[in-house]
Amino acid sequence: MSENLYTYGIIKQQDLELDVEGVAGADRIYTVDYKTLSAVVSEIDTTDPERTDEDVEAHNTVLQEVLEYDGGHTVVPMSFGMAFKNERTLKGVLRGARRALRSTLNDIEGTVELGVKILAPADDAVPQDDVQATVTNQLADLSINETENDLFTDRLIVNKSYLVDRDKRDAFDSAIDDVEAEHDDLTIQYTGPWPPYNFVDIHIGAEQQQGG
């Protein structure tokens, strides 16, 4: 059995075991503790996993399961591909990043990320600036923070990620429903809840992954 540990995210210390398929077909997701932190991990054969669509989806699925586990967890998500040589290396990294991780966990406590993309109709030449302004103002009022994402096609009039308190989730859902009801010509892609990928900024040195 490989000692390498693939890491999905960090939560406040808690034993957790999930029966969900992880990256590279892993069937056991569990936690490795370092003081007040727990890393959510599975075993993997390599420290440099290939970024396939299936594995990126598995990474996200595990994080969503953690997010919803036992009434909901706050999780600092790792980006895809963070695999460590062994448990000792992982704990060394957690030691180094402990202060930043604890601070981030406090900042995002009780929140989730929600994604909103709004597409104008394919044949629509009318500017949608007024819709864009109204909708984003409404959603901004219900969120703690937001990030503007790339408008990678002319049809996209909104592409944002919102950091939302779990308590405001229903109100946010309703606001999206209202937009859909008022603008049936628009296509809305509403995704989540996600761990707050776009609202954490922790860099763990690549050299730390390989050492140990």
Partner 1 sequence: MFIVDDLFVSPFFSLLDILQTMALNEMYDTKSIRDDIKENQLLYEVGERSEEEHQQRKQELESQLEMAEQIQEQMRDRMEVKK
Interface with partner 1 (CB under 8 A):
117, 119, 122, 150, 152-153, 155-156, 187, 189
Rounded to 5 degrees, φ, ψ at 164 are -125, 135
- Taking the complex as a whole, the smallest distance from the CB of residue 156 to partner 1 amounts, in Å, to 8
Closest CA to 8 of 194, 146, 145: 194
- Taking the complex as a whole, the smallest distance from the CB of residue 158 to partner 1 amounts, in Å, to 12
Quick one: 121 or 211, whose CB is closer to partner 1?
121
Quick one: 63 or 186, whose CB is closer to partner 1?
186
- Taking the complex as a whole, the smallest distance from the CB of residue 163 to partner 1 amounts, in Å, to 22
d(CA 22, CA 57): 9
Is omega for the bond preceding 49 within 30 degrees of 0, making it cis? Answer: no
DSSP state of 202: -
H helix and E strand count, the chain: 5, 10
Quick one: 90 or 179, whose CB is closer to partner 1?
179
CA triplet 112, 154, 140: central angle to 5 degrees? Answer: 30
- Taking the complex as a whole, the smallest distance from the CB of residue 122 to partner 1 amounts, in Å, to 7
